[in-house]
């Protein structure tokens, strides 16, 4: 497995540092799947993919508050 560097804001970084190993593993798996799908899509670049996923998540009821709550669970 390789390691990559992803820039996040200060709040996300602090939440990551406080997260349990289990939560970090769960998020790593999710990020891994997102990146794989982003580059497997023909004709869709990474940012278009992220926009699409964000709109889908919002349409399914995911709000910033819910996301923050998920990220803060330890």
Q: What is the pTM of this model?
A: 0.53
Asked whether the CA dihedral 40, 41, 43, 49 is positive or negative, the reply is negative
Lowest mean pLDDT among 6-10, 12-16, 68-72: 68-72
Confidence at residue 18, expressed as pLDDT on a 0 to 100 scale: 93
Pair 74, 18: CB distance under 8 Å? yes
- The predicted pLDDT at position 23 comes to 92
**CB contact at 8 A, 38 and 50:** yes
Say what percent of the chain tops pLDDT 70: 93
CB contact at 8 A, 49 and 41: yes
Note the pLDDT tens digit of each residue in 23-52. 999 999 988 888 887 777 666 677 787 888
């Amino acid at each position: 497995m390789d390691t990559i560097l992803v820039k996040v804001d200060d709040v996300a970084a602090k939440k990551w540092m406080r997260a349990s190993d289990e939560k970090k593993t769960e998020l790593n798996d999710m990020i891994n799947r997102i990146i794989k799908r982003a580059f497997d899509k023909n004709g869709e670049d990474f940012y278009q993919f992220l926009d699409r996923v964000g709109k889908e998540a919002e349409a399914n009821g995911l709000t910033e508050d819910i996301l923050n709550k998920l990220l803060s669970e330890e």
